[in-house]
Amino acid sequence: MPLTTARLAHRAGTLRSVAAGLTVVAAGITLAACGTADASGVKTAGKAESMASAAPTVPTANEEDLQGGAQQAARETVAGGADAGAQGGLRADSGVEGETGVCRLDTMSVSVTSVPRPASHLLLEITNQSGVTCRLIGSPVVRFDDGRAAVPQDENTRPQTVVTLPPGESGYAGLTTSAANAPAADGRKATGLTVSLAGEDSRRAVDLPGDSVEVGDGAAVGYWQSDASDALLW
């Protein structure tokens, strides 16, 4: 049956409506797909970032070298400081013994004087002529008339501390020529005196007061003292 113009127009309108509907549906599907992709993308990125932040950092070879070098340098610095401290501690402990040397006879002047009391006593005085402080060890080694045996030292005169002599300062030692109760007839006349320092072989000849002294039994020499009065207390 032939189609009329009105019917054709109606069918065309229907087709346009269907096409428009299909277009809307397709657009909706596309938007939905895009939205899902965006949401999925964001979600996926979030998971990736979370996983990346949670994963431990693995240093590269260069970073490992740098870190290892820094740690080694730190260990060496600490060890070096400890060694230096130990060496510093060793130097501090040995300061008195190491930096303050023993007095040497060749840098000293020595003299002997008589004293009014106690009786039969002489006073030895030694003066530091060097430019550095030194220590006097023990007692002087004294011989009347060079060649005879050394006069015994009196252990009762040992000081509580080591005697140190700054430049220009003096130390003292008492010398008894005989015991207080020794008979005068047992004495002998000495015209010479030599003095040595402990540990040295060299001797220094010293003039006796009055050119000679009577030496009897019980002669002895005391330890070095910082004060002359302490050297004559026996």
In tens, the pLDDT along 102-144 reads 999 999 999 999 998 888 899 999 999 999 999 999 999 999 9
**Under CATH, which number does the domain 101-231 receive?**
2.60.40
Beta bridge pairs of residue 153: 221
Q: Is 77 helix (H, G, I), strand (E, B) or coil?
A: helix
Summary mean pLDDT of the chain:
71
176: part of which helix (H) or strand (E)?
strand 170-176
> Is residue 40 predicted with pLDDT exceeding 60?
no
Q: What DSSP character marks residue 138? A: S
Q: 15-40 b/e with 16+ CB inside 10 Å = b?
A: eeeeeeeeeeeeeeeeeeeeeeeeee
C-beta of residue 223 within 8 angstroms of C-beta of residue 140: no
pTM: 0.57
Tens-place pLDDT, residues 166-180 = 999 999 999 999 877
Q: Is 115 helix (H, G, I), strand (E, B) or coil?
A: coil
48: part of which helix (H) or strand (E)?
helix 5-54
The CA dihedral of 152, 156, 161, 166, to the nearest 10 degrees, is: -40
Starting at the earlier edge strand, list the strands of the sheet with 101-102.
101-102, 134-136, 163-165
